[in-house]
Each structure stands twice: as C-alpha cells, then as structure tokens.
C-alpha cells in the first residue's frame, strides 16, 4: 500500500453498551391517526418517529404561514412600520380587519398572522418584506429549496386555494418547522397564547387569542404551532411539544380529528422514546494510548431519541489516526480532525462526530456515558495497516 494509506486509521476503540431494559415500543399501529398524511419527528435530530403518507403532495392551507412568518422574522424588519395596501386589506378569509392605509408594525403583523391566521396580514407582510407579492413568493420557494423541501411549491403567503400549484407534504412541513424552531423569535411568537397590538386611530388595542387549542387548552406539553383550514385542504395542523427534554414536531394534513391525532402521536412517542446523549462534548475518557490519552475531544454532543429495545443495541466506535512516529506531526501537521465517533443502532449508522486533538477546557456534562461508565468494555489494537 502507499504511504498515505499506511498512515490511515489504526487505533480502533469499540465501545458496546449492554444496558437494562427500558419500557417502550416502536409499534406505530398503536397510534390512532385520522389524517390523510401525518408525521412526527424529533426536533434536534430530525429522526422520523411516526409517518403516514408523509411524502404525499397535498394542499396545506394556513400552515403555509409558517414560511411567511420565518421569512419575516429573518428579514430583520420586525420594527418596521408597514402601510397596509388595498390589496392586503381586501384579502378574503380569516382576517385581522386591517384598513387600507393603516400603519402597523411588522412584528404585530407576524403575531396576527400566527395567532389569528390573518390572510390580510400575510399579504401585508409579503408586500413589505418581498417588495411585492411575487417577490415574496420567490423568496418562499428559494427558502424551501434551501431547507430541503423538495416536494413543495408555494404560490401565495397565506395558503388560500387561489392557485392550483400550491402544495407541500407532511415531511416537508416538518422540515420547515424544524428550521423555524431554531429561531428564538419565531419560537416565542408561535408559542404565544395572547397578544395585544396598538391600533392606529383607535383608543383600544387589538387583542388576539391563539387559535391553536393544543397550546391554549388541550395539551400541557404543547409549545406552539399553526392551524389551517380551507374547503379543499380540509383541516391542517402543525404543532410542537416538549416533555422530559424530548422536543417533538407533529404535522397532519386533511385530518378530521387533528387535535386528537397530535395528542395520540405525542403521548405514544413520549412513552416510547427518550433522548439520550450518545456522545458527550469534551475530553474523551477511556483511551489508553499515551499519545491520545486525555488529549482528544468531541467538539459537540450527539443526542438521539431511542426506544428501550434500540438502547440495548447501540454501538459506538472511535476511530483515530495511527499515532505519529518521532517528530512527524510537528509544525502543525497534526490532522484536523484526528478521527471520529460513529454511532450505530442495529447496524444502521445514525450519526458521526469528529474528534480533535489538544482538547480545550470544557465543562464536563453528566450524560449517557457518565451514567453508565461502569458498564462498557474497550478493546484496543495498535498497529499500522500493511
């Protein structure tokens, strides 16, 4: 073999966990879902926990407004004052009852969009942020492509059935929500139950109550979301929920009993899955080789939702470059990274984390490995490849 190949990985640390049983099941037939299409994912990893026709292209109604909201938030214009156009004021369907020529903050429009599903608000936002309705629709489709929403086409900012080519999938809408939930401002807006906005020319404020009944009444773990309905799309719903550090996103399209669909999916998943730290951030413990011992680190943690059955089958492998001979890595020649963690469940790769040399000071975190540090073994082999 060539010198380059000979210098490839030769230290193999295999860590296999044999842990106690954890109550849980991956049998999704226990989940009652009325929707034509549905999906449930874990937010941080994006793992799909439940799916039904998740790639079917369907009309989505007002959950379209999640895209409108995140584009407005990301525009940096939330403190701008928007002048409401005749076109925006005259938009049909659910409304904030905006008046032509009225001046209102973009931030207030976004709250009205998400809490009361104002179609007039959607058009006012689009015209201001995109420069025109067409300009904003272009931005929506560009963002969809960026996120990876490969089976989605947007042709308006509100979801009304005014265009044949306006559709998405449960999977794509989960991707959009996962992206939006990374934004702190969006999370705050989507999770607000009541909002008060000044009204130009009036002595009283507009007061909006969130239409998401999971958030306001039905489900204590709900953290936000967006409702939707048109005659053609029927009931659509996106919600988020958190329990015991497990953050979930649920999407249903054409669901006669959407509130119950979401609660059924959440209750099943919270019972079946737990979020485990499979790789801890910081210095990697247990490496015996003198060159690497206490000197390599993972730059970030890796967490993943697993069932009890899967937890018994987790395999984590650490692979590192062969340690240098003499001074061959002097003068900044140390590879970066020097290796990687690979994490598998039942032979399926679920993640990789790079490993770097010369660990900085990182606060140690109590996690998966710490809890079970006395319950694994390490096999080490050190030899150059032939």
In the numeric block, the tokens 């709900």 are attached to 222
DSSP 43: T
CA distance linking residue 265 with residue 263, whole number of Å: 5
Dihedral sign (CA 25, 29, 34, 37): positive
Whether 85 sits among the annotated catalytic residues: the reply is no
* Annotated catalytic residue within 44, 52, 62, 274: 62
Encoding tokens for residue 34? 């009325």
Assess contact for 219 and 262: CB atoms under 8 A.
yes
Q: Is 38 left (phi over 0), alpha (psi -120 to 50) or beta?
A: beta
Report the distance separating Cα 104 and Cα 371, nearest Å. Answer: 53
Using only C-alpha atoms, what is the Rg of the chain? 25
Catalytic residue among 52, 65, 211, 234: 65
Using CA atoms, how far apart are residues 261 and 210, in angstroms rounded to an integer? 19
H or E, element range at 350: strand 348-357
Set 44, 85, 89, 117: catalytic member: 117
99 a catalytic residue: no
293 is catalytic: no
Cβ atoms of residues 308 and 21 within 8 Å: yes
Which residues have a catalytic role annotated? 62, 65, 117
């Amino acid at each position: 073999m060539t010198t380059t190949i000979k210098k490839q990985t030769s230290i193999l640390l295999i860590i296999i966990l044999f842990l106690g049983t954890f109550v849980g099941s991956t049998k999704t037939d226990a989940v009652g879902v009325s929707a034509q299409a549905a999906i449930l994912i874990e937010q941080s990893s994006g793992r799909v926990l439940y799916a039904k026709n998740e790639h079917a292209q369907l009309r989505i109604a007002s959950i379209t407004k999640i895209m409108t909201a995140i584009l407005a938030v990301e525009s940096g214009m939330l403190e701008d004052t928007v002048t409401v156009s005749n076109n925006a004021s005259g938009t049909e369907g659910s409304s904030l009852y905006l008046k032509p020529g009225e001046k209102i903050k973009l931030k207030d429009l976004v709250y009205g969009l998400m809490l009361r599903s104002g179609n007039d608000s959607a058009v006012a936002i689009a015209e201001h942020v995109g420069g025109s309705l067409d300009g904003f629709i272009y931005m929506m489709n560009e963002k969809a492509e960026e996120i990876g929403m490969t089976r989605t086409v947007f042709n308006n900012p509100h979801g009304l059935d005014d265009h044949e080519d306006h559709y998405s999938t449960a999977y794509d809408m989960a991707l959009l929500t996962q992206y939006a939930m990374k934004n702190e401002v969006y999370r705050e807006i989507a999770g607000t139950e009541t909002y008060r906005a000044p009204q130009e020319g009036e002595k009283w404020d507009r007061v909006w109550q969130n239409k998401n009944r999971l958030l306001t009444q039905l489900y204590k773990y709900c953290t936000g979301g967006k409702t939707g309905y048109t005659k053609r799309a029927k009931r659509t719903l996106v919600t988020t929920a958190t329990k015991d550090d497990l953050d979930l996103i649920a999407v249903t399209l054409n669901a006669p009993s959407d509130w119950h669909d979401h609660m059924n999916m959440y209750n099943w998943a919270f019972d079946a899955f737990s979020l485990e730290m499979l790789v801890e951030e910081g210095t990697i413990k247990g490496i015996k080789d003198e060159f690497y011992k206490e000197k390599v680190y993972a730059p970030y943690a890796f967490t993943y939702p697993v069932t009890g059955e899967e937890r018994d089958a987790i395999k984590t492998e650490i692979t590192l470059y062969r340690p240098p001979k003499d001074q061959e890595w002097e003068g900044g020649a140390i590879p970066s990274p020097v290796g990687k963690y690979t994490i598998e469940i039942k032979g399926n790769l679920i993640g990789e984390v790079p490993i770097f040399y010369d660990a900085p000071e990182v606060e140690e975190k109590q996690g998966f490995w710490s809890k079970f540090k006395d319950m694994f073994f390490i096999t080490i082999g050190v030899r150059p490849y032939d």
